[in-house]
């Protein structure tokens, strides 16, 4: 048995499986977009009709909405996860494992069941709805006291609402707020974990040094801690942003008709309307607009890191040669 042959044999199972069930299906998706569809839900002749159908003024709106909501979800997740990761990393070793475990434990219950529990909690007759409406009233009261030009500014940046609060139109269920809230709930542990494992390796004496040198704690946090856990930050953002872009279960269960995202459209076209080429085209659109740039960025980063490492090696070799001279 030659060495090469052994490598091929060991590589074959996973390589063939992923080729057959991951790589080739991706190519089929792209190929299907150049077909028409048949009325009985099949795939028709080669044509460009599907791409022509896609020129629908609704789609850019939906794509933009998906990207905007994903950014909002990522922002809130990171904002909440950073102090949590920091707090866990500063605990005693024994407590760290317990708290990290406690954060992951809720995720042993089923995803759909958790989302459904939220749906029950956000029911229009429930206490969360009352809290939400009280918050809206409070916000209206707060902005009413402002001079008109300031209030117009807050309305312009979507922090204030131009209409007075109305209980019928401000239900939290079937709104974007519900989708963002529950998405943050389901994705938060995936933001905390990478940040925590980066923070655990972080040398906290650097923070003390910064403070000794006169930095305020928030300044030290921003200028020493955040750059120190950069790798964890990047993976946390990816861990939240990617599922958020592709999510469709939460918008479907909690967003109603007010929060239809690109994932919902793909599911509708593929399963409910059974328009296979159209669903393929939407999936291709999603992959091209978000994941190709992401993939390129990741590969470039790897390449860049490898180049830096090579340069360091070259420099080290030069130093050594210089030393022996």
Give the nearest distance from C-beta 45 to other proteins in angstroms: 15
Which among 96, 107, 77 has a CA at the least distance from the CA of 235? 77
Which among 280, 287, 288 has a CA at the least distance from the CA of 53? 280
148 binds other proteins (CB under 8 A): no
Tokens of 127: 């206490």
d(CA 135, CA 277): 45
201 binds other proteins (CB under 8 A): no
Tell me how many residues contact other proteins (CB under 8 A).
Answer: 82
152 binds other proteins (CB under 8 A): no
Q: Is 183 in contact with 248 (CB distance < 8 Å)?
A: no
Which among 257, 279, 282 has a CA at the least distance from the CA of 270? 279
Region 248-287 residues binding other proteins, contact defined as CB under 8 A: 248-249, 253, 263, 266-267, 270-271, 276, 279-280, 283, 286-287
8 binds other proteins (CB under 8 A): yes
Q: Judged by CB under 8 A, which of 245, 255, 260, 275 binds other proteins?
A: 245
Give the nearest distance from C-beta 312 to other proteins in angstroms: 20
65 binds other proteins (CB under 8 A): no
Region 217-236 residues binding other proteins, contact defined as CB under 8 A: 217
Q: Is 269 in contact with 279 (CB distance < 8 Å)?
A: yes
240 binds other proteins (CB under 8 A): no
Which among 173, 78, 85 has a CA at the least distance from the CA of 129? 173
Site string for other proteins, 87-126 (x = CB under 8 A): xx-x--------x-xxx-xxxxxxxxxx-xxxxxx-x-x-
d(CA 237, CA 218): 21
């Amino acid at each position: 048995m030659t060495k090469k042959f052994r490598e091929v044999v060991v590589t074959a199972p996973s390589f063939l499986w992923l080729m057959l069930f991951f790589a080739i299906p991706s190519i089929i998706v792209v190929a299907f977009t150049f077909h028409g569809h048949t009325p009985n839900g099949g795939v028709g002749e080669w044509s460009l009709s599907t791409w022509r159908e896609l020129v629908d003024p609704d789609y850019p709106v939906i794509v933009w909405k998906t990207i905007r909501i994903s950014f909002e979800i990522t922002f809130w997740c990171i904002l909440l996860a950073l102090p949590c990761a920091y707090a866990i990393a500063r605990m005693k070793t024994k407590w760290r494992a317990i708290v990290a475990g406690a954060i992951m434990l809720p995720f042993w219950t089923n995803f759909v069941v958790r989302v459904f529990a939220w749906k029950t909690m956000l029911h229009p007759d429930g206490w969360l709805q009352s809290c939400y409406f009280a918050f809206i009233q409070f916000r209206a009261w707060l902005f009413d006291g402002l001079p008109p030009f300031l209030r117009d500014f807050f309305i312009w940046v979507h922090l204030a609402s131009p209409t007075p609060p109305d209980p019928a139109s401000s239900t939290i269920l079937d709104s974007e707020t519900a989708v963002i809230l529950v998405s943050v709930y389901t994705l938060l542990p995936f933001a905390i974990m990478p940040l925590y494992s980066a923070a655990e390796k972080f040398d906290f004496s650097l923070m003390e040094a910064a403070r000794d040198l006169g930095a305020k704690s928030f300044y030290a946090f921003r200028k020493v801690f955040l750059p120190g856990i950069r790798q964890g930050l990047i993976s946390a953002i990816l861990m939240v942003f990617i599922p958020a872009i592709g999510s469709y279960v939460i918008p479907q269960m909690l967003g109603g008709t007010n929060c239809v995202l690109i994932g919902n459209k793909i599911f509708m076209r593929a399963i409910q309307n059974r328009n296979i080429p159209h669903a393929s085209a939407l999936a291709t659109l999603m992959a091209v607009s978000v994941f190709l740039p992401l993939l390129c960025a990741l590969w470039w980063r790897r390449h860049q890191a490898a180049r830096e490492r090579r340069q360091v090696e070259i420099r080290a070799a030069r130093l050594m040669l210089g030393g022996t001279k």
